[in-house]
């Protein structure tokens, strides 16, 4: 097996922990020696052993002289919950280390490989770097900016409607698309919505499915209109309500409900900074056209995921996926790049970066 095929396997191993490692990156590792994989594993959860430590433990003395493949540069810094992986690699007498990418964490960022080189270990970096960066796009943004990576999700019909003229929107997409949305929810730290969606649908905004983890819910509710018996206040995990300064009546809220206050017009960039301070590394926006338009205008969206159902509603309703106060001309729109489209059940899902 060559470097590329082994690194591809590392990235596939790392992806198994999608939604479980925040605020840590997803990392997979393989030990290869004498033409054979002698150990492979991946980091499962923050605070638990790193992928490198796991494969070294599995291989034991057999690790001496092996090549370590890892999807992210091994860590070298102290003061965290797990010991530096570079020390363990040097101690195991690894011959060569191949990393897909450098760790963007300023506490590491190239220094891990420098330490390994100083110990006489051959190093290679950049194998499948683009794929590795996409795998950890959330970690890369958060560790360098302390601002969450933001995904905008929307569903619409073939004629561009996210609801019928009477407001009905269940269910535009097919069952496979809805299951995929639950997996996306499970992969992010928080889901952002607004009071209009909550009052219209009384959603739980949980990730439902075997082994899926539900995100924190963040609801923009300026006047504290969320009924106390609604699902987002009664269903685990916790909910953050974003409300205006003068909205002080919190009587009846469950103890786990947190309030973030603002004044004037809500600046979503400011809100993302507030969520980042609460160690929320990723957010998916699930709301109406006004919230999505607000998010695009405020420049917080990193990635878009649009579901298009093979249905035509017609009518004169204005229920389009993105509705903002201003618009861009045809010559200078918000452009989506690195776009990919695929069939999902009877729907088409389009993903790209804004």
Residues serving a catalytic function are: 52
CB-based contacts of 328: which residues, under 8 Å, 6+ apart?
A: 334
| Cβ neighbours, 10 Å, residue 88 | 20
What angle is formed at CA 79 by the lines to CA 75 and CA 81, rounded to 5 degrees?
A: 75
Question: Tokens for 196?
Answer: 């209009």
Residues facing 31 on adjacent strands: 39, 68
Half-sphere exposure of 298 (CA within 13 A, CB side): 19
Radius of gyration of the chain (CA): 23
State how far the Cα of 164 lies from the Cα of 225, in Å rounded to an integer.
25
Q: Which two tokens stand for residue 155?
A: 């569903």
With contact defined as beta carbons under 8 Å apart, do 39 and 58 qualify? yes
CA–CA separation, 194 vs 44, rounded Å?
32
**Matching residue, tokens 């690194």:** 7
Structure tokens at 203: 């959603």
Q: Which two tokens stand for residue 69?
A: 């493949």
């Amino acid at each position: 097996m060559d470097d590329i095929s082994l690194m591809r396997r590392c990235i596939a191993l790392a992806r198994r922990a999608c939604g479980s490692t925040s605020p840590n990156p997803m990392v997979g590792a393989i030990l290869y020696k004498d033409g054979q994989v002698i150990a492979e594993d991946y980091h499962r959860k923050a605070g638990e052993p790193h992928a490198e430590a796991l494969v070294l433990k599995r291989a034991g003395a057999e690790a001496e002289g092996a090549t370590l493949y890892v999807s992210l540069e091994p860590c070298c810094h102290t003061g965290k919950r797990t010991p530096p992986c570079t020390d363990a690699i040097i101690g195991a007498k690894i011959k060569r280390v191949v990393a897909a990418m450098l760790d963007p964490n300023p506490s590491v960022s190239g220094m891990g490989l420098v330490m390994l080189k100083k110990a006489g270990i051959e190093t290679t970096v950049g194998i499948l770097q683009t794929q590795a960066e996409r795998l950890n796009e959330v970690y890369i943004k958060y560790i360098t900016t302390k601002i969450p990576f933001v995904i905008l999700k929307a569903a619409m019909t073939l004629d561009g409607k996210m609801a019928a003229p009477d407001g009905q929107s269940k269910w535009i997409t097919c069952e496979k698309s809805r299951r995929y949305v639950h997996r996306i929810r499970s992969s992010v730290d928080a889901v952002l919505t607004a009071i209009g969606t909550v009052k219209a649908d009384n959603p739980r905004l949980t990730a439902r499915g075997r082994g899926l983890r539900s995100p924190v819910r963040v609801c923009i509710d300026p006047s504290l209109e969320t009924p106390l018996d609604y699902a987002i206040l009664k269903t685990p995990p916790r909910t953050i309500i974003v409300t205006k300064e003068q909205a002080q009546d919190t009587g009846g809220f469950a103890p786990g409900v947190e309030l973030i206050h603002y004044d004037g017009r809500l600046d979503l960039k400011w809100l993302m900074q507030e969520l980042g301070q609460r160690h929320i590394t990723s957010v998916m926006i699930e709301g109406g056209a006004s919230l999505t338009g607000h998010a695009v205008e405020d420049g917080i969206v990193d990635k878009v995921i649009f579901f298009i159902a093979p249905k035509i509603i017609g009518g004169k309703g204005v229920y389009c996926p993105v509705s903002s106060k201003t618009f861009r001309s045809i010559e200078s729109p918000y452009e989506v790049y690195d776009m990919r489209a695929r069939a999902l059940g009877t729907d088409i899902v389009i993903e790209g970066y804004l």
